[in-house]
Amino acid sequence: MKTLSAAVNAYDKKSHINRELYGHFSEHLGRCIYNGIFVGEDSPIPNTDGVRNDIIEAFREIRMPVLRWPGGCFADEYHWRDGIGEKSQRPKMVNTHWGGVTEDNSFGTHEFFDLCEKIGCEPYLAGNVGSGTVEEMADWIEYITFDGVSPLSDERRRNGREKPWKLKYLGIGNENWGCGGNMRPEYYADLYRRYQTYCRNFSGNELFKVAGGPNVDDYHWTDVLMSIINDWHAKAISLHYYTIPSGNFEAKGSSVNFTDEEYYSTIKNAQYMDTLIEKHGAIIRRHSDKMKLVVDEWGCWYDVLEGTNPGFLYQQNTMRDAIVAAVHLNIFNSRSDIVCMANLAQAVNVLQSLLLTEGDKLVKTPTYHVFDMFKTHQDAQLVYSFTENSVQNNIPVVSQSVSIDADGKMTMTFANASLDEDFEIDCSLVGYEAKTADACILTEDVRAYNDFDAPEKIKPAAHSAELTDKGVKFTLPKCSVVSIRLS
C-alpha cells in the first residue's frame, strides 16, 4: 500500500468555518415537502404538527444549521399570502415548474418557521422577485419579524403566532438569470437594490441579504452585479452549481448504473466547485473586501429514477454521492474565508438527498452519513493542512480539510476517490499534541446504496488511527471517507 505524507499546522490558523456551510435546501418540488418532510397532522406516520418525527430527529442529529425554502424556481412563483391562515381556505395553485401538480399551500410560512424551530436551525427564505412585487416581499418580512402593532403583525397573531420569528437569511429572488425572470444582470442588480430597500430590520431582527448570483461560470454576471451593488446593499451573493456526470443537462446519466469513466468525470466535475469559488471570489474581492459567497444550491443531478415523475427529480444516492459530498465539504471548509453558507440540493427525496422516504420507511443516504461525519467542523477554525496526492484518470484523488473547535478538539476529514488504490496516510502534526484519536469510516462499493429493504448497507463504522511520535497514521481505503477526531 502506498504511503502518502500529510501535514497539519495548528499554529497556522485560517478562517472560521461557519456552521451554515453545512446547510440544506427544501423546495416545493416532488416529494421534498409534501409526502416527504410534511405528511400532515392526520397521517398515520408519526408526526408533530404534520412533520415526520423521524425526519426532525435525523436533521437534528447532523446539527442542520440552516434550511432554505420555498425554492428554487418555485420561489419566484410563490405568493406567501396563499400559505397562511385557515388551511381549508388557502387557495390552490399549479406548480408549473415541477410536474404541474396542484399545490394546496398547506405548508406555508407558519409551518416552515415551526419546522426550523423543531430542527433548531436558521430559516433562509428565498423571496419572489420574478413574479412578485416589492410590496409583497416587504410585507412578508414585516409579517414574520415585527413585534409591534401593525395590520400585518396583528394578522400573524390572529393566525396563531404571538411573537415574531427571527429571520436572518433572506435571498432576493432565485436564479434571476433563468427561471427567476430571465433577466440581464444590469436589470436584476437595479431590481435587487430596490427590493432590498424595503426589506426592513424590524424589532431588533437583522437581515442578512443575499443577492442572486451567477449560474456556474458566468463571471460577467458576478462582475456586473458587484459593480452595481455593494456591501451596504447585500452581505453576500449566491452561486449555483450542480455536478452532472456528463456535464450535459440533456443527458445527465443514471444515479445507479454508471461506468468507471462516468464516475471519474463526476468527481472531476465536483472538484470544479473549487475553481468556481476561486474565480467568483476574486471578482467579489475586487469590488468588496467584506462580501461573501453563498453556494445555496449544489449537489449531484442525474436522470430521474426510471418509472418516477420526470418533474419530481427523484434519484438514488450511492457511495459515489458520498465521495462527491466529502469533496464539496472539504472545498467549502478550505474556502471558508469567502464562502459563508452552502445548501445541498435537496434535503428529502429530491436530487442528492440526505433522506429518502417511502410510506413510513426512511433511508439515510450515504450523503447523510458524510454530513454526520463532518459535523464537528461546524463553527470550528480551519487550520493549514496538506496531503501528498495521487493522480488517477487525470484527477487528484485525495481531498482533506482540518479544523480545531472551541474545546481544542481537532477534526480531520479525508476522502479517497480512487476506485482501486488504498493509501496509508502518515500525518505530521505541528502545534498540536494529540492524546486520543477516534476515527470512523464510510466505505462500500461505489455503486452501492441504501434502499428501503437494506437501509443500513452503508453506514459509518469505527476505524483505527494510530498516534505516532509525529502525529497520526491511518489507512484511507479506495472509495472511502474517513473522519478523525483528535483531542
Residues near ligand AHR (CB under 6 A) are 27, 71-73, 174-175, 297, 345-346, 351
| Closer Cβ to ligand AHR, 108 or 213, answer by number | 213
Active site residue 175: yes
Query: Is residue 444 annotated as part of the catalytic site, yes or no?
Result: no
- Min dist CB 324 to ligand AHR, Å, is 15
- Residue written as grid cell 396542484: 102
Nearest approach, Cβ of residue 351 and ligand AHR (Å): 6
Q: Specify the residue, 165 or 242, whose C-beta has the smaller distance to ligand AHR.
A: 242
Nearer to ligand AHR, 314 or 414 (CB): 314
**Residue 66 Cβ, how far from ligand AHR at the closest point, in Å?**
16
- Point out the catalytic residue in the list 136, 262, 297, 421: 297
B/e letters for 220-241, b = 16+ CB within 10 Å, e = fewer, are ebbbbbbebbeeebbbbbbbbb
In the complex, which residue's CB is closest to ligand AHR?
72
What backbone phi and psi angles, to 5 degrees, belong to 68?
-95, 145
In the chain, the N- to C-terminal Cα span, in Å, equals 28
Check 20, 103, 122, 175 and give the catalytic one: 175
Q: Which is nearer to ligand AHR, 176 or 399 (CB)?
A: 176
C-beta closer to ligand AHR: residue 94 or 454? 94
Minimal distance, residue 75 CB to ligand AHR, in Å: 8
Give the nearer residue to ligand AHR in terms of CB position, either 300 or 380: 300
In whole angstroms, the minimum distance from the beta carbon of 240 to ligand AHR comes to: 6
3-state SS track over the chain: CEEEEEEEEEEEEEEECCHHHHEEECCCCCCCCECCCECCCCCCCCEECCEEHHHHHHHHHCCCCEEEECCCHHHHHCCHHHHCCCHHHCCCEEECCCCCEEECCCCCHHHHHHHHHHHCCEEEEEECCCCCCHHHHHHHHHHHHCCCCCHHHHHHHHCCCCCCCCCCEEEECCCCCCCCCCCCHHHHHHHHHHHHHCCCCCCCCCCEEEECCCECCCHHHHHHHHHHCCCCCCCEEEEEEEECCCCCCCCCCCCCCCCHHHHHHHHHHHHHHHHHHHHHHHHHHHHCCCCEEEEEEEEECCCCCCCCCHHHCCCCCEHHHHHHHHHHHHHHHHCCCCEEEEEEECCECCCCCCEEEECCEEEECHHHHHHHHHHHHCCCEEEEEEECCCEECCEECEEEEEEECCCCCEEEEEEECCCCCCEEEEEEEECCCCCCEEEEEEECCCCCECECCECCCCCCEEECEEECCCEEEEEECCCEEEEEEEC
Tell me whether residue 72 or residue 253 sits nearer to ligand AHR (CB atom): 72
Nearest distance, CB of residue 49 and ligand AHR, angstroms? 25
Of residues 142 and 175, the one with the C-beta less far from ligand AHR: 175
Beta carbon of residue 204, minimum distance to ligand AHR (angstroms, whole number):
31
Smallest distance, ligand AHR to C-beta of residue 346, A:
6
* Active-site residue set: 175, 297
